[in-house]
Amino acid sequence: MNEIVFETLKVIVMVAVLVISRYLIPWIKEKCNTDKLALAEKWVKYAVLKAQQILWAEKGQDKKAYVTEFLKEILIAKNIALSDEQLDVLIEAAVKQMKIEENAGVVIGAANENSVNVK
C-alpha cells in the first residue's frame, strides 16, 4: 500500500513540475516583460516632452538624437533591453501622441495649477 501512495505522489509531483515549467514560468516572464515595456513607454513619453521643452529651437533630427541617447542611458540603468528599431517606434509614437494632444487643444507647459489649458 505504501508503494502505491509513493508512486501516486511521485506522478503528482512530476505533473506539477511539468505544469509549472510549461505554463507558469512563461506567464511570469511575459508579465515581467509587459511591465518593462510599460516602464519604457513612460520614459519615452517623458524624454520626448523634455526634448520638446529644452530643444524647442533645434531640428527634429537633433531632438530625436537627444531622446535616443537619453533613453539608452535610462533603459540600461533600468535593465530593459530594446532594439534600436523598437526604440525608434516608441519615440515616433510618443511624438505622434504629443502632436495629437497639441492639435486637440491640450497645451503642455510648466508644472503649475494652470499647466493644462484648452484653447
Mean pLDDT of 63-91: 88
Q: What is the pLDDT of residue 113?
A: 47
Average pLDDT, the chain: 80
Q: What percent of the chain has pLDDT over 90?
A: 8
Strands (E), the chain: none
Helix or strand (DSSP H, E) at 67: helix 60-77
List, for residues 18-69, the tens digit of each pLDDT value: 888 788 777 777 766 778 888 888 989 999 988 888 887 888 888 889 999 9
Q: How far is CA 27 from CA 18, 19, 36, 81, 85, in A?
A: 14, 11, 14, 19, 25
Q: What is the pLDDT of residue 109?
A: 56
pTM of the predicted model as reported, rounded to 2 decimal places: 0.59
